[in-house]
Amino acid sequence: MRTAAEPVEVRRPSAVRALTTLLAVTAAATVVVELLNYWYAPEQEFGLAVRTGWAMLRSLGFLLLIGQVNKGRVGARPFGLILAVTTIFAVGRLIVPRQGVPALPGLIGFAVLTALCVAVVVLLYRSETIRAHLVRHRKGLVVEGGTIAWREMTPKRPQANGWLLTARVAAFTYSPLMLVPALVATGAVLDGRLAAVPAVILWFGAGIAVSYAVLFCTAFLLRDKAWARKGLVAVTLGVLAIDLPLCWWLLGTDGLIRDGAPIVTAAALTLYSLHRATRTRPHPVDDEGGGEFELR
């Protein structure tokens, strides 16, 4: 005798399945393209190895994004946007050698990876099916009616629209984008430039401090506090004031281009998102995002 209906497995929409497949292919392509770049690089020095390793770690980001998409999390869209943009920059800065022209396999791989990242963004922001799928919030322990249950948590914060979410995600990239060139700069110390030791230590310390400053500001940013926006702007300007001169001094013009350009892009996206962000609306969100974000 059956006392309850058996659970029915709901098949995910074809657009969602296509997106998860595309993300898996992009993760694999990131690894392949970086290995090609390193293989064909005229000089396989310490700095290139560090930058290559950091770029390859982004493949893990795409795998995490697959999990977010499968769970239907609302935060998958801004996360996917920042991941795609920064991946293009992280890989693109390694294509051009210090001298000569880029290797043809590297150029082809970069073009393919760029096309994959663009396709990811288009699906995330232009597909109505995926938009309707990414509506869930994170789960947690909820106490209700004297019972404790593990279920989706009802958002309690006032609304933060998609632009604020994008500013938040973009700002979280500051710390790793500072720590990677700081790690590259340790090569200068190993080469006998002992005068650079205090600067490298300052660079590492600033990169770690920025992560906490961003975490503090963005916690209140989603509550639409005006001072949090000003604080994040101040942090952004401080990051540029510290990172760019150190890139130029310790890594030269090549380092300024390779490591400065990505953080300038992240800062520009953060400031632009803050500029476009609107005031609170009736729809609340939680830590993982919500609201609408349109690419115009």
Mean pLDDT of 75-97: 81
If asked whether residues 16 and 77 sit together in one domain, one would say yes
**In the predicted model, what is the mean pLDDT of residues 100-108?**
78
Domain carrying residue 264: 155-296
> 289: closest CA among 72, 144, 121?
72
In a domain, 192, yes or no: yes
Tell whether 126 and 212 lie within a shared domain: no
Is residue 287 over pLDDT 80?
no
Q: Is residue 225 part of a domain?
A: yes
Residue 149, in any domain of the structure: no
Rg of the chain, C-alpha, whole Å: 21
* Mean pLDDT, the chain, integer: 79
Q: Verify that 162 and 293 share a domain, yes or no.
A: yes
Per-residue pLDDT tens over the stretch 18-54: 999 999 999 999 888 888 887 877 666 777 778 778 7
Same domain, 159 and 296: yes
Better-predicted residue by pLDDT, 101 or 250: 250
Q: Which of 103, 97, 101, 108 is nearest to 29 (CA)?
A: 108
For range 67-87, the mean pLDDT: 86
Total-model pTM: 0.72
pLDDT in tens, 109-140: 889 999 999 999 999 988 889 988 887 656 55
Give the per-residue pLDDT at 71.
85
Is 57 within the bounds of a domain? yes
pLDDT for the residue 119: 95
